[in-house]
Structure 1
Amino acid sequence: MSSNNVYTEEDAAKARLSSYEEQLIKLKKQFELVQQGTPDEETLDHMVDLKAALVTNAKLKYHKNFLQKSIENVENEVKSGTFKKPTDDSQSSAAPAEQKKSDNSGKKGKGNEQPPVKKDKKETKPSVPKINYVVVEDYGDSLMNRLKEIFTEAQKTAYPQVTNFPPIMTEATNPKFGDYQCNSALGLSKKLKEFGVNDSPPQVAKNIANAVQKGEYIKDVEIAGPGFINVHLQPEFLGARIGKLLQNGIQPPKIAKRKALVDFSSPNIAKEMHVGHLHRFPNYLNETPPIGDLQAFYKESKKRFDEDETFKARAYDRVVKLQNHDPEIIKAWKMICDVSRADFGRIYEKLDIKITERGESFYQEYMVKLVKELEEKNILITEEGRKIFFPTGCS
C-alpha cells in the first residue's frame, strides 16, 4: 500500500501473488493426501468420480468381509460335524410332479381331466376416503344443494347402514311432475343388497319419501314409475325466494371458516450466492449452468469474498451495477434466478405447494418513493454512504 493510502496496481499484484501462493500450498497438500489414499472432503467435492469410486470400494470391502466370515463359519461347522446341507424344495417337488404327469399320460377322456385351479384374485387396496375440506354452513340461494341436504338426511334415516351415497337430484322435466326429482332409489336398491336388504326400487323410494322432512321448502313428495320421487316445493317459499333475489341478487353459499397455514418459503437463490461474484463465472452471459455448478461456484466465491478484500470490493461494485440495472449484470442475475427457480419448482410441485414469488427485487421500485418520503421528513441517517432509518424505540 502506498504512503498516500492509494491502492495501486503493484499492491493488487502482490495480493494476487499471495493468494496464488496460498492456493499452491493448499493444492500440494491435497495432492499428497490423494497419493496417500486419504483425500479430504473438500478435495473429494472437486473429484466426483474419485469420491464415487471410494464409496463403491468401501461397499465391496464390506461384502467381501461378510462373505469371508460366512465361509469361515461353514468350514468350522464342517470340521465340527454340525453342518447341515440345505434342502432344495424345488427338486423335491419336481419328482412328484413328473410322476403325476407320467401316470396321467396314458389316460384319456373328460373324466380324467383335472379342473383348472382358480387363482386368488389380486387383493385390492381399500379406497382412502376423501376429506371434505369445504363445509357449507348456509347454501344461500342454492336450492338444489338444500334439497340434496334434505334427501341425504332422509336416506340416512331410511337406511342408516348405507353411508356416503349422495342423493341424485335433478330438475323435473315436466311441471306436472313437480319441481324437482330424486332418482336415488334404483342405485340405492343395488347397494342395499350388499347389506342383505332386498328392497325393490319402488320400496326404497317409498321409505325415503316417508323420511323426507316437509315444511319450509317441500310441500309434498310422491312416488312415480319404477322408483322416482317427485318433489313439489312450497309456493310461499318460492314467492319469498324470488322477491329476495330481486332485492339482493344471487348470494353465494356461506362456507365455514377454516384455519389455513400460510408460510414464507424464502429459498435463497443459488444458496447465499452474491451477484458480485459473477465476474469470475465462466461465460455466464451465454451458457446456463446447472444448479450444482452454481452451488459449487458459490462455495468457492463465498470463501474468497470473506478472505480477499480486493475481491470483496469488486463484489460490492457488482451490487451497485445490479441496482443501477446494468444490462449484463441483470442478465446474469436473471439467469441465476431462472436456474434456481426451476430447481425449487420440482420440490414445490411434489409437495403440491403454490408459490407467489416476491423476491427482494420486487420491492425495489417501491423503495424509491418510500426513501423520498423519509428524506422529506428528515428521519434518515447517512452512514458510510447508506441511508438508514431507525423506527421508534430502536437505537
Structure 2
Amino acid sequence: MHLTDEQRLIQRHVREFAQAEIEPVAVEHEQAGRYPRDLIEMAAEADLLAPRLDESVGGAGLGVVSSLLLNEEFHRADPGIGESVTAVTFGCEPIIEYGTPDLVEEWVRPACRGEVVSSVAMTEPGAGSDFAAIETSAERDGDEYVLNGDKVFISNGSVADVSLVYARTSSPEEPHRGLSSFVVPADADGVEQTPMEGYMGPGATDIGQVYLSDVRVPVENRLGDEGDGFYQAMTFLDEARLDVAAACVGAARGALDLVGEYVTEREAFGGPIAEKQAVRHRIADLETRLGGARSLVYEVARDLEREGEVDAARSAQAKLLATTLLEDVASEAVQLHGGYGLFDEYRVETFFRFSKVPQIYEGTNEIMRTVVADGML
C-alpha cells in the first residue's frame, strides 16, 4: 500500500513507541487487569492521543489515513492497551462538531493532553443495535435537562471523566426523531459509574455501566438541536466503524507476527514447524486475506479524505471484513501455538479474546450486513 513520506514517518514513530513502551508491559497489564493510565500519559507526551482532531482544539491535525495508521499500530502491539489509548478522546468529535466553544475548552483540550478520558453512552439493557429504542430520558426543566436512565457496555464507562449521553427528549411517531445528545460530567450529582465484571475482552480495557438518576445538565450541554441525536450518532458511527476496521487489521497483524516468531523457533518432528506445508499454507492464506482487508480499509479512508464524507456501506464492508478476518487469524494463532497458545504469557490468547469484541460494538456484524445490503439493493 502506498504511503506518503509523512505517513511513513508517522507509522514508524508509532511503531517505535509501541514496541518500546507497550509490548514489554502488555502481559503485566493484562494479568493485572490494569487500565493503562501511565501509557496514556506517555502517548499524550508523544502527541499520539488525538491524531484526527484539529490542531485548533489540541489535536495533531492528521488526515484520516494517518490516524488509522496510529490505530493499527497500537492494536498491533496489544489490542487491550491499544483500545484504551485510542479511546481516550472517544466522543470528542461530536462535541467539536455540535458543541459550544466552552464545552470544547472544558473537555476536548484536556482529553487531547491525556488529562481527561471521555466516553460515549449509547447502549442500554434493552437497546443495542436498535438504537432508536433507548429509554433514557431527558426532560427539559427551565434552563436545564433532567436525565434518568441506565447505560451498559460502555467503553471507558467506569473511568471516564465525561460522557456523551444519548437520551430521549420526545416520543414522536418515528422514535429516531426524538433523541438528543448531552455532555454529562462524571462528577455531576446523580451519576454513578461502575465497572462491569466478567468481561471476556482484554484486561487493560474498561467496560462500565453508567446510571443516571435525576442528573441535571444545562441546556448548553445539549449538542446541536433537540431531536438531532440519532442523526449525529449515525454520522459518528460510520466513521468510527472505519477506526474499528483499522484496529482489527492491526490486531490481526500483531497476532500473525507472534505466529511467525513462534513457528520459526518451535521444532517438532525434526525441524521448525514453519517448514511444514500445512502450517505455511494456513499462514499464507491469512496473510493474503489480511492484505485484502487492509487495502479496503485504506481505500475507504482515502475516499473519506478526498470527499469529506464516508460511504456508510463501504465503511460497513470494511468493518465486516476486518472483524471476521481477525477472529480467524486469532483462532489460528492460538491453534498454531498449541498448548502454549492457551496461556497469556504467549499473548495470542489476548488477541483471540479480543477478536469477538469488535464484531459487536459500533454495530454488530449482522447490522453491518444489513447496511451493506441496503447500499447494494
TM-score interval (norm. to shorter): under 0.3
| Structure in which a larger fraction of residues adopt strand | 2
TM-score (norm 2): 0.20
TM-score (norm 1): 0.19
